[in-house]
Structure 1
Amino acid sequence: MAVHNGFPFLAGAVQSVLDQAHRDFEFIIIEDASSDGTGDWLESQASADDRIKLIRHYQNKGLTKSLNRGISVASGEYIARMDGDDVAMPERFSRQLDFLRANPSVVLLGSEVELINELGFSLGNRGHSTDHDLIRRDLLSGNGGALTHPAVMIKASALHQVGGYDECFAVAQDLDLFLKLSELGRVANLSDVLLKWRQHPASINRTRACEWQQVKQIAIRNCIERCGADQIAREMFPVPQSFNFPATLLGQATFCQSRGERRASLKLALRSIQSGESFVKASLFIIKQLANVCVERLFKV
Structure 2
Amino acid sequence: MLPYYGDVDQMKQAAQSVLDQTHRDFRLVVIDDGYPDPEPRRWFEAMTDDRVTYLRNEKNLGANGNYRKAVELVEAEWFVMMGADDVMRPGYLAAVATAVERFDVDIVQPGVEVIDENGVRVLPLVDRIKRAITPRVTPPGEVLGGERLAASLMRGDWAYFPSLAWRSETVRRIGFRQGLDVVQDLALILDIVKQGGSMALLTDVVFDYRRHSQSDSSVRALDGRRFDEERDFFNTEARSFDALGWRRAARVARRHLTSRLNAASLLIKAAKADAGSPRALLRHMFR
Q: Please give the range of the TM-score, normalised by the shorter of the 2 chains.
A: 0.7 to 0.9
On the 8 A contact 2:41/2:54 being kept in 1, the answer is: no
Alignment of 1:179-194 (within 5 A): 179-184=190-195, 185-194=197-206
Percent identity at matched positions?
Answer: 23
Is residue 117 of structure 2 the alignment partner of residue 122 of structure 1?
A: no
Alpha-carbon RMSD across the aligned residues, in angstroms, is 2.3
* Pairs aligned (count): 233
1:54-112 deviations in Å (ceiling 9; x for gaps): 221132111111111111011100011211111101111111121122211x1111122
Change in Cα spacing, 1:156 to 1:137, as seen in structure 2 (3 Å) is: same
Name the CA distance, whole Å, in 2 between partners of 1:84 and 1:102: 29
TM-score by length of 2: 0.74
Secondary structure (helix, strand or coil) at the match of 1:82 reads coil
Tell me how far apart the structure 1 counterparts of residues 150 and 97 of structure 2 sit (CA, whole Å).
22
1:245 equivalent in structure 2: none
1:113 maps to which residue?
112
Partner in structure 1 of residue 12 of structure 2: 11
Q: Is the 8 A contact 2:108 2:165 kept in 1?
A: yes
Give 5+ residue unaligned stretches, structure 2.
138-142, 253-287
Higher-RCO chain (CA-CA 8 Å, sequence separation at least 6): 2
Mapped partners of 1:213, 1:111: distance in 2: 27
SS in 1 for 2:110: strand
TM-score, normalising length from structure 1? 0.70
Superposition pairs of residues 133-144 of structure 1, within 5 angstroms: 135-141=149-155, 143-144=156-157
Q: Deviations over 1:237-284 (max 9, x none)?
A: 79xxxxxxxxxxxxxxxxxxxxxxxxxxxxxxxxxxxxxxxxxxxxxx
Give the secondary structure class of the aligned counterpart of 1:8. Answer: helix
Distance in 1 between residues matched to 2:101 and 2:79, nearest whole Å: 13
The question of whether the paired residues in 2 share the 8 Å contact of 1:12 and 1:87 is answered with yes
Partner residue in 2 for 1:148: 160
Q: For the residues of structure 2 that align with 1:67 and 1:76, how far apart are their CA atoms? A: 16
Q: Give the distance between the partners of 2:75 and 2:97, measured in 1 at CA.
A: 15
Unpaired stretches in structure 1, ≥5 consecutive residues: 239-301
User: What secondary structure, in the 3-state scheme, does the structure 2 residue paired with 1:54 have?
Assistant: strand
Q: CA deviation at 1:235?
A: 4.2
Maintained 8 Å contact 1:33/1:60:
yes
